[in-house]
Amino acid sequence: MADTAAGEPGKRPPAAVLLCALTVLTAAACAAPAPAADPTASTAAVATASGRLNATDIGWIQLMIAMDDQARRILALAPDRSGDPRLVTWATGVAEDHRHALAALRGLLADAGVADDNPHAGHDMPGMVNAAELRALEHADGPDFDRLLRAALHEHLTQAAKLADAVQKADADPEVKKLAREVATTTADSRRRLPSAGTD
């Protein structure tokens, strides 16, 4: 996926990716270091002093919701557009995993009294299906669709695993860390079971 926020695709250091993701900065803030009082930072990242979730917790939850919502949109296309029955079966299972994860993520926000908004709307970030990729998938069929879906979901799952690992090492809420461990396990299993191109 193109990383338009940082210039050349694939050039953003992994540490910067995780820092931007877990502090829920805007796309502009991710492109360059921002001062501590930068008003472009998400309000959710600073509105948790009285709640149990900190900025890292909410940053990870909101980013995973945005990423998983987009992933489910393309996974839902597989039954009608894929030319590989194995990929359809896999996509159906991954979509169900994402449905459960999204319910748990949103439950954590609700329990903490945090609004379920989307500060990443319109962003083009690692692991997130962007508008151009979504359009391409919506207009592709057969082997072309399968190739695009595999590429998009491989990147999505890879980034989700990195974020889950990062939040487990952070000063995060125990329930958030528990969910991150579950996401890491499910993501690893999904990546392992992703059907290869085979005879596409």
**Measured distance CA(126)–CA(45) in Å, rounded:** 20
**Measured distance CA(92)–CA(115) in Å, rounded:** 29
**Confidence check: pLDDT of 200 > 50:** no
Whether 140 and 81 have beta carbons less than 8 Å apart is answered as yes
**Measured distance CA(98)–CA(58) in Å, rounded:** 18
* pTM score, whole prediction: 0.73
Q: What is the pLDDT confidence band of residue 195, given thresholds at 50, 70 and 90?
A: very high
Least Cα distance to 27 among 93, 122, 144, 99 occurs for 122
**Measured distance CA(160)–CA(156) in Å, rounded:** 6
Range 156-182 average pLDDT: 92
**Confidence check: pLDDT of 27 > 60:** no
Over the stretch 133-155, which tens digit does the pLDDT of each residue have?
Answer: 899 999 999 999 999 999 999 99
**Measured distance CA(66)–CA(125) in Å, rounded:** 10
Q: What is the torsional sign of CA 22, 168, 100, 142?
A: positive
Over the stretch 31-79, which tens digit does the pLDDT of each residue have?
Answer: 333 333 333 334 444 343 336 788 889 889 988 999 999 999 999 999 9
For 32-94, give the secondary structure using H, E and C. Answer: CCCCCCCCCCCHHHHCCCCCCCCHHHHHHHHHHHHHHHHHHHHHCCHHHHCCCHHHHHHHHHH
Q: How far is CA 172 from CA 74, 95, 181, in A?
A: 30, 26, 12
Residue 129: left (phi > 0), alpha (psi -120 to 50), or beta? beta
**Measured distance CA(161)–CA(155) in Å, rounded:** 10
Amino acid identity of 171?
D
